[in-house]
Structure 1
Amino acid sequence: MSLSLTSTTKVHYNRGLLEPIGEELTLTELQVVGAIPPELTGRYFRNGIDPVPEMDPGHAFLCPGMIHGIRLRDGRAEWYRNRYVRTPAFGHKAKLAFDADGNQLHEYAANNTDVKVHAGRILSLSEQTPPYEMSPDLDTVGPWTFGGKLRGNFIAHPKLDPHTGDLHSFGYDMVRPLIDYYVIDAAGELTTDVRFEIEAPTFLHDMALTENYVLVFQTPATYDVRLLDRNPYPIVWNDEHPCRIGLLPRHGSAADIIWLPISPCWIVHTANAYEDAAGHIVVEATRVDAADWDRGWAGLGGLVAHQHTIGPSTELVLEACLYRWTIDPVTYTVREEFVDDRVVEFPAINQHHNTARFRYTYIVGYAGHGRTATSLVKYDHSTGAAQTRDFPPGQVPGEPEFVPAPGAGNEDDGWILSLVTGLDGQPSELAILDAADFTGPAAARIMLPHRVPYGFHGSWIPDSALGIS
């Protein structure tokens, strides 16, 4: 391998905001400031890492997953629970392992990134394992492979089509340059499996979905298992590999994919994608370049190639900006532009507008690019305005989750849920905000008597999604 690589001994995932809690708790009758909207009947679950010091795997992505949950019903916060996602690797130092034929041995890996509900099942998601089903009380049920039809891995961020109830996803191989496109119907049956090849095994964390297309992102963030003896999670930014977006017709074959080059970046998290009146495909997502990749990846424990760019970082996430790609599928051209150049991550929308034109994006804003406060930001794409809700020093909001109000007439009729982590031992809280009155008083703050480590992704899971009346 021609890259000049360096590892880092200054890892950040086991201290500061990400410092683990290290124990499983059950708390009842939580303190509430304000009034919980009675329409919120269900569970808020959020996934993330909780490294065990004596079994530190050396990279954040291999740390045990822990889901933090808060149960809301009848205007009350009934309980808080946090439970580890118990894959077979739990209680051991997790790793990436492969057999002699290059097949990944999933039982050695951790699951720690996202949590979704589909077909009445609560799923913990992470690229290095199949989905893991969790009970409504956060006990680990076990892997869910759609009746054994899943070929291997399953990305952390599948996309739900709100019109059909189908879940669209990719799986990929860490050794061979292969990607599988899956469709799982509303009943949980895997109905589509299309395999295709790419240039190199790529770190495919998210995807995009429109009315007629599935979009796959191939970037310079690639796997090279030859690096396993130097770093336990062998992803590195390699400038020799192309950066491009692939357009796969929803009902097409591997031969139908159209590849379009874009400027080098890693596409982290998709807010949404849709087809406009002219037939152009518009994708909005967070994007990092090589320098910002290196700063963030080093903090997670990874190998980096551009050593001279290592410098100050938020030490929380890869420093991303909100970005837009507009694709013409007829002329095969792509227009690129920043939505905003501030440091942001974890975009969210009203999921009823998945695959369709949308007005609002909600996102976390971090210190950097001239800003010093952490915040939640609401972008209005119709007016170009951005509302910023700053948080007090020592309070860092997590990923916003939009929950639509019953019978909502406007796109922002509903609530934003964000699990707020405290610095320096301060306790945490679940903030419930009126999305239409974004900078106004919080509807409710559910106060926890302890700090919850900063994490990755979560979901609001209404009782109706679990068949609970």
Structure 2
Amino acid sequence: MTDTLDPTDRLADVADLPIRRPNDNPYLAGNLAPVPDEVTAFDLPTAGEIPAELEGRWLRNGPNPESVADPLTHHWFLGTGMVHGVRLRGGKAEWYRNRFVLDPADRAAGLFGANTNVGGFAGTTWAMVEGGQPPIELGYELEPKGVNRFHGTLDGPFTAHPKYDPSTGELHSMNYHWPDLIDHVEYTVVGGDGRVTKSLAIPVNDMPMIHDMSLTDKYAIVYDLSVTVNLEVLTAGYAFPFKWDPDRPCRVGLLPRDGGADDIIWCDVDPCYVFHPLNAYDAADGTVVVDVCRYDAIMVDDRQGPFRDHLATLDRWIIDPVARRVRETRLDDRPQEFPRHNPRFGLKQHRFGYTSEVIASEHNIHGAIIKTDTDTGSTETHEFGHGRGGAEPVFVPKADGTAEDAGWILTVVYDAATDQSELHILDAEDISGPEVAAIQLPQRVPFGFHGNWVPDTSVAPT
């Protein structure tokens, strides 16, 4: 069954709600506005039953500027990071914490805190950002512990979206750095011990914004697309230097994982932009299959964020290394972003993907959670109710599950009527059914960027 959600109806659904924190910059208004305080709360009230097998932390990172000099030139991607976390154990929500990723002295000094993603690797918790900065290490209770350069082995930039290979225990990243890396990006591999094992320069033109990458058993995939550094944007006084370039050719690079820059197979693709791929795998016929949230264009006229030019659809790309072309198919034309899948199927052929519906309004930029079956083309949705929407759907496999959709979806839900947030746990096998548990949070969590489930078996309590 395919659900149809009319975006016009979605906007009408929130039209009667109060507009919270109005601002001339829509990315500083409503639930995109930062929160001022660091909060700690214990024994969080919960409706429903938290699965006892969930023992660890749900973490989420996003920009949370303490002050903005000029709202009209401020960009949503800027502002020091703030990590929100909920610790689950024994069927209870033991605590909620939110912490800036930098201590007060570093924030007062004007340093930029990693504000895009957060996760656990090599026994530590990292806050990450694209565009050059190394990760910032956090303690188990989210206290900032300073920059982590992978035990001194990271000489260049890093990314907000490394890809994990469960067969090798490695992290792979595609990194750009404005303004230092003018003519290339860097491909970096980090071993399971948290030390860099490979670094490779990949020549590119015009300094493209490469937000993410994909990984298969054979290839590291480079997205060299139509958003690049634009000096006219900078001279006009805007803080974020990237802009859509309609004349720039788009291409996707297949870098053999054991090869060099000269071995990349560049494949043409129609002009577009991709922030986030869902998953990628090597097909039996030699092609590479990637599902992506694809924008026809982005950052054309919007200088404050990504959602007022175009919205993304869920598409499938079949990359042909022989023809050096990309064949594109639309999986779902509803606006959606922040794709996730079962991590046990990373680098493998997948069937299911989970995304957050995007609603561009002053109240709420998220709606339902959409589950897409790429085999049948059908979709199901989890609706949160009037004026409520869920953010990025983090997939946690069930301990004894074998089916691809056997897992829990963790997502933070904002209620525009009450101006409050909850952490919801959904059953991915019954996505349209009621939530398994709803955990009340002591303050709202702004719609930010990315997070992960970090089990205690990955990063132990200290």
Give the 3-state SS of the residue equivalent to 2:443 in structure 1. Answer: coil
Is the contact made by 2:170 and 2:189 (CA closer than 8 Å) also made in structure 1? yes
d(CA) in 1 for partners of 2:231, 2:358: 33
CA drift of 1:333 comes to 2.5
Is the contact made by 1:111 and 1:126 (CA closer than 8 Å) also made in structure 2? yes
Match of 2:208 in 1: 202
CA drift of 1:268 comes to 1.0
Amino acid at match of 1:294: V
Is the contact made by 1:200 and 1:241 (CA closer than 8 Å) also made in structure 2? no
CA drift of 1:40 comes to 0.3
Alignment equivalent of 1:253, drawn from 247, 260, 278: 260
Amino acid at match of 2:190: I
User: Is 1:362–2:354 an aligned residue pair?
Assistant: yes
d(CA) in 2 for partners of 1:375, 1:294: 27
CA drift of 1:150 comes to 2.1
Alignment equivalent of 1:91, drawn from 107, 120, 132: 107
Match of 2:421 in 1: 428
Alignment equivalent of 1:174, drawn from 172, 178, 186: 178
d(CA) in 1 for partners of 2:109, 2:413: 29
d(CA) in 1 for partners of 2:294, 2:249: 16
Is the contact made by 1:68 and 1:83 (CA closer than 8 Å) also made in structure 2? yes
Match of 2:7 in 1: none
d(CA) in 1 for partners of 2:401, 2:217: 23
Q: 1:391 to 1:318 in 2, by over 3 A?
A: farther
Match of 1:232 in 2: 239
Alignment equivalent of 2:405, drawn from 412, 418, 441: 412
CA drift of 1:257 comes to 0.9
Deviations 1:236-279 (A, max 9, x none): 11123221101100010011011111011111101000011111
d(CA) in 2 for partners of 1:282, 1:88: 45
CA drift of 1:87 comes to 6.9
Match of 1:105 in 2: none
Alignment equivalent of 2:314, drawn from 298, 319, 322: 322
CA drift of 1:171 comes to 1.6
Is the contact made by 1:347 and 1:364 (CA closer than 8 Å) also made in structure 2? yes
Is the contact made by 1:222 and 1:237 (CA closer than 8 Å) also made in structure 2? yes
CA drift of 1:390 comes to 1.6
User: Is 1:158–2:162 an aligned residue pair?
Assistant: yes
Match of 1:110 in 2: 113
Report the aligned-residue RMSD. 2.3
Alignment equivalent of 1:43, drawn from 57, 65, 71: 57
CA drift of 1:55 comes to 5.1
Q: 1:72 to 1:214 in 2, by over 3 A?
A: same
Is the contact made by 1:342 and 1:365 (CA closer than 8 Å) also made in structure 2? yes
Match of 1:284 in 2: 291
Amino acid at match of 1:325: W
Alignment equivalent of 1:338, drawn from 308, 330, 333: 330
Deviations 1:163-215 (A, max 9, x none): 11110002223231211111111111210111121012111100000110000
Is the contact made by 1:219 and 1:264 (CA closer than 8 Å) also made in structure 2? yes
CA drift of 1:82 comes to 0.4
Amino acid at match of 1:144: N
Amino acid at match of 2:389: V
d(CA) in 1 for partners of 2:219, 2:442: 46
Alignment equivalent of 2:387, drawn from 379, 390, 394: 394
Deviations 1:304-333 (A, max 9, x none): xxxxxxxxx6x6x96211111101212223
Is the contact made by 1:29 and 1:79 (CA closer than 8 Å) also made in structure 2? yes
Match of 2:343 in 1: 351
Deviations 1:129-179 (A, max 9, x none): 211111110011111112333233212111001111110002223231211
| Larger mean Cα displacement after TM superposition, 400-409 or 83-92 | 83-92
d(CA) in 1 for partners of 2:300, 2:380: 30
Is the contact made by 1:45 and 1:115 (CA closer than 8 Å) also made in structure 2? yes
Is the contact made by 1:152 and 1:172 (CA closer than 8 Å) also made in structure 2? no
Alignment equivalent of 2:303, drawn from 298, 305, 324: 298
Match of 1:183 in 2: 189
d(CA) in 2 for partners of 1:237, 1:151: 30
Match of 1:52 in 2: 66
Match of 1:440 in 2: 433
Amino acid at match of 2:424: A
Is the contact made by 2:296 and 2:310 (CA closer than 8 Å) also made in structure 1? no
d(CA) in 1 for partners of 2:60, 2:177: 26
User: Is 1:30–2:35 an aligned residue pair?
Assistant: no
Give the 3-state SS of the residue equivalent to 1:60 in structure 2. Answer: coil
d(CA) in 1 for partners of 2:170, 2:300: 36
Deviations 1:405-463 (A, max 9, x none): 11321111110000112225521100001111111121111012432211110100000
| Number of aligned positions between the proteins | 431
| Larger mean Cα displacement after TM superposition, 148-157 or 393-402 | 148-157
TM-score by length of 2: 0.88
Amino acid at match of 2:288: I
TM-score by length of 1: 0.87
Q: 1:277 to 1:89 in 2, by over 3 A?
A: farther
CA drift of 1:366 comes to 2.6
CA drift of 1:468 comes to 5.0
Match of 2:148 in 1: 144
Give the 3-state SS of the residue equivalent to 2:458 in structure 1. Answer: helix
Amino acid at match of 2:404: E
Is the contact made by 2:119 and 2:452 (CA closer than 8 Å) also made in structure 1? yes
d(CA) in 2 for partners of 1:190, 1:197: 20
Alignment equivalent of 1:120, drawn from 123, 143, 152: 123
Give the 3-state SS of the residue equivalent to 2:420 in structure 1. Answer: coil
User: Is 1:458–2:451 an aligned residue pair?
Assistant: yes
d(CA) in 2 for partners of 1:130, 1:318: 31
Segments of structure 2 that go 5 or more residues without pairing to the other structure are 1-22
Segments of structure 1 that go 5 or more residues without pairing to the other structure are 1-8, 95-107, 303-312
